[in-house]
Amino acid sequence: MFPIVRLIKDVIVASRMSRLPLTGTHVSRHICWPWDLDIWLELNNGRAMTLYDLGRTMLAQRVGLITTLRKRRWGLTVAGTSVRFRRRIRGFERFEMRTRTVAWDDRFIYLEQSMWKRNGECASHVMLRTAVTDARGIVAPTEVLAALGQPPQTSPAMPDWIQGWCETDAQRPWPPMQDGHERGL
C-alpha cells in the first residue's frame, strides 16, 4: 500500500523548506517502520523504491515543479531506472535520503537518489530517467524549465556512467522476449 500519510507529511515539510535550485540536493530523514520490512526484517526493496518516490516528490516541491505540474496539468513518470543495493536497513533504523537532478537531454531528466545509514555507509543508490508528461506525451525539459521561470540553460554535463547506461539501454529489445521467443517471429 502506498504510504499516503508519509506523502502528505513529506509534502508539507518540503513546502516549509527553502527553495532549491534546479540541481540542488534535497535531504530527508526517515525511519524504517515495521510495515517497510520484508521477511528478513530489513527494508523491502519495493518499499525502498516507494520511499525514493517520496524523495522525488519532495525535490519537485522544493524546486517549484509541483505548482507548475498542477497549473499545466502535467504529470511525472519514470522511464527507466538502475538500482544498487549494498547495505541493509533494518527495522526502526534511521537513514537519510539524498535526491538531486543530475542532467537532462532533449526528452528526459536524470535524477540520482541514495539512502545513507547513520554510520555514513551508502545503503542503496538509484539513477532514474524521468519525464514530465502531458496529454500529447513527453514535455521537453526546455519547456519545463521555461514553465518554472528558469532562464534557458544547458544541462550540466552528463556523467559517463549515466551516458553509458543510456547507450546500453537503447540496445535493449522492445518489446521484450516472450516465452523465450522474440515477438513477431
Q: For each of the domains in the chain, give its residue range(s) and CATH number, in order of start.
A: 4-170 (3.10.129.10)
pLDDT for res 156:
95
As a whole number, mean pLDDT of residues 21-33 equals: 95
Mean per-residue pLDDT, 95-99: 98
Query: What is the average per-residue pLDDT within 134-157?
Result: 93
| All three cell numbers of 92 | 526502526
144 pLDDT higher than 90 = yes
Residue 8's pLDDT is 87
Cα–Cα distance measured from residue 104 to residue 161, given in angstroms and rounded to the nearest whole number: 14
Q: What is the pLDDT averaged over residues 3-12?
A: 87
Burial (CB < 10 A; 0-12, 13-18, 19+), residue 184, is exposed
C-beta pairs of 153-162 under 8 Å, 24+ apart in sequence: 155/103, 155/104, 155/105, 156/23, 156/102, 156/103, 157/103, 158/102, 158/103, 158/105, 158/110, 159/102, 159/103, 161/127, 162/102, 162/103, 162/110, 162/127
Tens of pLDDT, residue by residue over 39-95, are 999 999 999 999 999 999 999 999 999 999 999 999 999 999 999 999 999 999 999
pLDDT higher than threshold 70 for residue 162: yes
Share of the chain above pLDDT 70, in %: 96
